[in-house]
A and B are shown apart, each in its own frame.
Chain A
Amino acid sequence: MSWTLYFPYAVAFWLFFIGCFGVAHSRNLIHTILSLTVVQSSTYILLLSIGFHAKAGAPIFSPANPPGSPSVDPIVQALTLTDIVVGATVTALLLTLTIQIHRRRGTIDPRDLRPMRG
């Protein structure tokens, strides 16, 4: 039983590093942006698993589910929501830049895009 508690942490760890691996091996900016989304998913998993309680409902209280009855942590859900908004902003910005770089340089391979080296 107890090992299942650690499972989400392992998933978050895996997603973070596989996402970074994806960025590091990327040959296409769209692929990079999606890899960044994978990295971000690790934060969702970690946040939500931290707020999780076994046999607890959603943090919405009603007569069937009165205040004080067990519920999962609503704060981490708010944090996740903020995180999603932040991620959407950066993704939108990056996609805009990708379109623009394609117009200027005619490629979206990161290895051909180097502002300056050395």
Chain B
Amino acid sequence: MSVLAPLCVAVPLIAAALLLPFSKVMPRWLSATIASLATLTVIGLSVTLALYTAFNGTAVHWMGGWAPHHGLAIGISFSVDPVGAGLAAFIALLVFAATMYTWQGFDTTGTMFHSLLMAFLAAMCGYALTGDIFNMFVWFELMTAAAIALTAHKIEEAESIEGAINLAVTNTIAGFMVLLGIALIYGRTDALNLAQLGQIVAQRPADALVLASFGLIVTGYFVKGAVAPFHFWLDDAHAVAPTPICVLFSGIMVQVALYGVARIYWTVFSPSLASHTHEIKALFVGVGVATALIGAIMAFAQRHLKRLLAFSTVSHSGMFVAALGLFNAAGAAAAAIFIVAHGLIKSALFICAGTYLNRFRSLDEEVLGGRGKECRVNSALFLIGGLALAGIPPFAISAAKMMYDAALKEHGLFAIAVVMGFVTAIDAGAVLRSGIHITWGIGKAQKTGFSPREEETECEEERWEHTPWPALWAPLLLIAIAIFVGTNGTFWNAISSAAHAFVNRDLYVAAVLNGVHRVIWVYSPHRVTLEDIGVNLAVTAAAVIAAFVGLFRDHIPQMLSPVFGPPLKSLRALHSGIFTDYVAYMVFGIAAYSAWLVLGAK
């Protein structure tokens, strides 16, 4: 059964290779169909793998049959557990939604786009399934290369290229940081297999070298994971990328990088860093809160729809890091279900924003004001997405927030849960504000934030007179799945159980090195109490209030603007759009993270 794992990567790669030679002659519908079929195959394969591994324990496939010799890994493995396979399935689902959007309307200039998309899918699936730290780096780099090319896909638009350059420079340095970390840990252990590495590293407590390696790998992945102060590339790239690519960037690529941090922590570093858990927890939760706040505040100050949604992704990234930073099964489970919930809703929102762009050739809240009535269904979906983002039941984020708050409270971090509730309200408030203004034209649009250069047409894609059906069905499908996830207790239990297996290092090592496949089932049924629902409804109400405060801000007393004005202005100035600044912040971030780890270790 484990042979299915490499197929998850091979199928999209073969599809990419098949599409490429015919890029000039193949009609768009045909290439979209081939890409969709390949994606559906990956969904089938990875769901099968997820179910198989849930009942039979971690599945391991050794490439070329180079199985371990006396418990010593010599080959490269795909080590698949339910979390990895589930992630691959979710990646493929979002890629499917993105390809749906390209069936009609979206100008893909030949089939090159689908070819790149398939390479991107293969890279993310490989990253999710691999059991080898260097192999992980290679998939990471393939992901970056495909992401650069996809961002710059509209090669005639200068802004797309600028966004792609920002992404390329920052993420390339990130890749080198990860590689330096891998080199250091390899120097200590002579191993690259995650299970083997973990076994050797666990033999003694962490010293400076292990800490340095951990710090480099974490900061490297945090760049792609958009964690402060490494998140700056994200909002530039997301705002200019083609809509289907925004879906994948925001919906899953950022989260896949965070999955990498969790995977490496739990398999390699968890035992030897046991004595440093306190500092690392504080670091993760601290940067999580900072990222969430920065993202939410910046989102609220935007008028460019895609950029607004991108900052909202930054704030969610902060929430995921804080949950992973609890370093227990409950935190991992909360992060997993939150990633699924957020991916579904944010993807739907991005597709709706893309429809506005294609209908009205603008993403500017002010230009769009009141025009949403011309495409009612899309506007309705956008508003529903905004409410779902705030955590209104029965959508998935409501369930995720319940598990999230429970995990934080269990840890005694009630204050963090309150801050995250506030962040969610601001974040969803920004989406609702622009949704309300676009649909009904009431209130005043956001004046601050990026506005398109006037001399340029913002969108060179073909203009839609009517919204084509796939552009409506894709968000509908995603929102329907979000309702299913939000109401299905069995699904929550399955994720929770998978997370318990994910954090269990012994299980992983035994399966990979010794071929002993064990299964653990942990039932931790989360009862939905009236209190939970009340909290979610309160956050939603706060989001709606924030939206109206944003719309009618001229009618409320301005006494707070001297307090919040100057810091907001400097925060906005930091997001300068110039990658040289971003690299300077990155170096500062590396210094700050390592100072914290070193001082904490003392």
A residues neighboring B (CB under 8 Å): 12, 16-17, 20-21, 23-26, 29, 32, 36, 39-40, 42-43, 46-47, 50, 73, 75-76, 79, 82-83, 86, 89-90, 93-94, 97-98, 100-101, 104-105, 110-111, 113-118
Contact = CB atoms under 8 A, between A and B. Distances in A.
Contacts of A39: 172-173, 176
A50 B186 contact: yes
A43 B192 contact: no
Given A29-B165, A110-B578, A116-B450, A93 B236 contact: no
B488 interface: no
B401 interface: no
A89 B119 CA distance: 14
B180 A116 contact: no
B30 interface: no
Interface in B445-469: 448-450
Interface residues of B, number: 57
Nearest to B173: A39
A32 B168 CA distance: 11
Given A23-B169, A32-B169, A113 B578 contact: yes
Interface SS of chain A? helix
Contacts of B584: 24
A90 B168 contact: yes
B120 to A, nearest CB: 14
A93 B149 contact: yes
B162 A114 contact: yes
A90 B584 CA distance: 20
Given A97-B168, A115-B236, A116-B304, A20 B173 contact: yes
B383 to A, nearest CB: 25
A115 B145 contact: no
B186 A76 contact: yes
Contact of B183 (A47, A90, A97): A47
A104 B572 CA distance: 27
Contacts of A23: 169, 173, 579-580, 583
Top 4 nearest A-B pairs by Cβ distance? A114-B577, A116-B450, A104-B158, A50-B187
Given A86-B145, A97-B161, A116-B307, 13 more contacts: A23-B580, A24-B581, A24-B583, A39-B176, A50-B184, A82-B138, A90-B172, A101-B165, A104-B157, A111-B578, A113-B165, A116-B236, A117-B576
Contacts, number: 141
B148 A90 contact: yes
Contact of A17 (B168, B179, B573, B587): B587
B152 interface: yes
Interface string B178-208: 0110111011001010000000000000000
Give the residue among A21, A94, A113 with the most B Cβ atoms within 10 A: A113
B183 A118 contact: no
Given A20-B173, A32-B169, A115 B184 contact: no
Interface in B549-602: 572-573, 575-581, 583-584, 586-587
B141 interface: yes
A68 B389 CA distance: 61
Contacts of A43: 176, 179-180, 183
B382 interface: no
B164 interface: yes
Contacts of A111: 578, 580
Interface string B152-176: 1001111101111110110011011
Contacts of A93: 145, 148-149, 168
Nearest to B453: A116
Nearest to B576: A117
Contacts of A110: 165, 578-580
Contacts of B149: 93
